[in-house]
Amino acid sequence: MSKHMLVLDTCCPQCGSRLTEGTRVVLDAFIRKSHREGEMRLSAIFGDYSMETELEVAEGELVEFRCPRCEASIMMPVTCKLCGAPMASLNITAGGYIEFCTRRGCKGHALGGVGDLDQMMSMMNKLMDTPYD
């Protein structure tokens, strides 16, 4: 049995630049504890929490994210419901957005941006590339 992967095609909420490259979301990252910054590649596959970076990021550390194109912060003024860390947000090109926790190891995330069940199903159909819309 094959498992269909949901790859999120994301863009910056400020400038609209596409941030998904293949199966990775490319962002600029700042590690609060070590005061180091660099590129971080987060998995664009929904439910996959892997990342690639040259930075050392220990479990539990907080990361601040920016768009690598316009350098605008993608941080939100809300906290994760699981661990209390700040959340970040990216737009999804098919509509809606994804919020994700900025604490390494936390799995807090949410898809959003729609007001009712029909709109949510339409967004999911677009993301899954199904003919039901």
Structure tokens at 45: 């596959």
Output the pLDDT for position 58: 92
Residues of the chain with pLDDT below 50 are 1-3, 114-115
With the C-alpha atoms ordered 89, 93, 108, 102, is the resulting torsion angle positive or negative? negative
The pTM score is 0.81
d(CA 77, CA 37): 21
pLDDT at 37: 96
Give the model confidence (pLDDT) of 52-85 as tens digits. 999 999 999 999 999 999 999 999 999 999 999 9
Closest CA to 72 of 23, 122, 12, 133: 12
Residue 127 pLDDT: 59
* Residue 19: Cβ within 10 Å count: 23
pLDDT at residue 65, as a whole number: 98
